[in-house]
Amino acid sequence: MKNSFIKDIAFYVPDEILTNDDLSKMMDTSDEWIKTRTGIEKRHTTGDTNMGPADLAVKASDQLLDKIGIDKSEIDFVVFATSTPDYYVPGSGALFQEKMGLENIGVLDIRQGCSGFTYALSVADKFIKTETYKNILVIGAEVQTTQLDYDDEGRGTAVLFGDGAAACLVAPTDEKRGILSAHLHSDGKYIDDLSSLYPSSKYKDIINEENIQKRQHHIYMNGREVFKHAVRRFKEVILEGLESNGLNVNDIDMVIPHQANFRITETVQKHLGVDQDKVFSNIHNYGNTTAASIGIALTEALDQKKIKKGDIVVLASFGAGFQWGSVVIKW
């Protein structure tokens, strides 16, 4: 059986930048308040461009294919992760396929929030190892800044999120490297602690005046609960991945966590007992880009030469659901 590996990766973020000072003009917040609690200094936004996650994914994918030097006709499957789809139905995968000109290949949409990229890689890994497909495009893309509550009531979430997309090519290799294992979990007891209730097929009126007044069409987050569970689950799932491969914390060369909050990343680093330079963070420049965040961070870690061939790299995520996961890679 062949191994699967990430042949290369690229990302795209919109040109327009939304700084903490910009947000302070919309709601009761400040640059100091946001940086102290999240580590975020700015995020990118699609603004008034009417770009959706499929559009951002095309930009990232074009960059990726140029880097690798292959034609899009060689792509034979797409796994598209987003929590902010262009359409309520269908998912963004089909729209992305049409925009990219990928003729008649299969697409699979992943709706796992901040854990979307790890879930998507897990699916691609299995398809490669079973020799179902040869070149799988894995996408994480989000447009969230158009959906946030920029009133004072929503500042706890509005300051966190940004827009962006990452694209990687997962392919087979005969070398003893690549994706070693993936570990996925969920606990639906906490679904109401990080969720957006509307639109919903449960109700006759998908959006009505009452739920708009209650701001239930915006994302809600119980910050304390999310923080408490995130630091626990990140550590657990990273150690699970290491143990399943006969590795320990000392074998880690780089951890790429989902960029949720710098305080979470810092706490996980301390709980694991690894050096700070082995846990990558770029949340200060992009905010939380949900399904795109791990891909964007991985791209920058590679561009900065922080990962080399043969390194043990652990990707880890936690988010709405609650859902969490890890992917262990020998680069």
Catalytic residues: 114, 258, 288
162 vs 288: CA distance, rounded Å: 6
- What is the rounded CA–CA span in Å between residue 99 and residue 97? 6
Q: Which residue carries 């006709």 as its tokens?
A: 73
Does a cis peptide bond (omega within 30 degrees of 0) precede residue 53?
Answer: no
| 329 closest CA partner among 318, 316, 317 | 316
Structural tokens at position 164: 């962006």
Strand positions, DSSP E, 120-224: 136-142, 164-173, 178-186, 194-195, 220-221
275 C-beta neighbours (distance < 10 Å), count: 9
DSSP-H helix ranges across 184-308:
209-213, 223-244, 262-272, 283-286, 293-303
* CA terminus-to-terminus distance, the chain: 18
- In which order are the strands placed within the sheet that holds 178-186? 178-186, 323-330, 312-319, 254-257
CA atoms within a 13 Å half-sphere pointing along the CA-CB vector of 225: 14
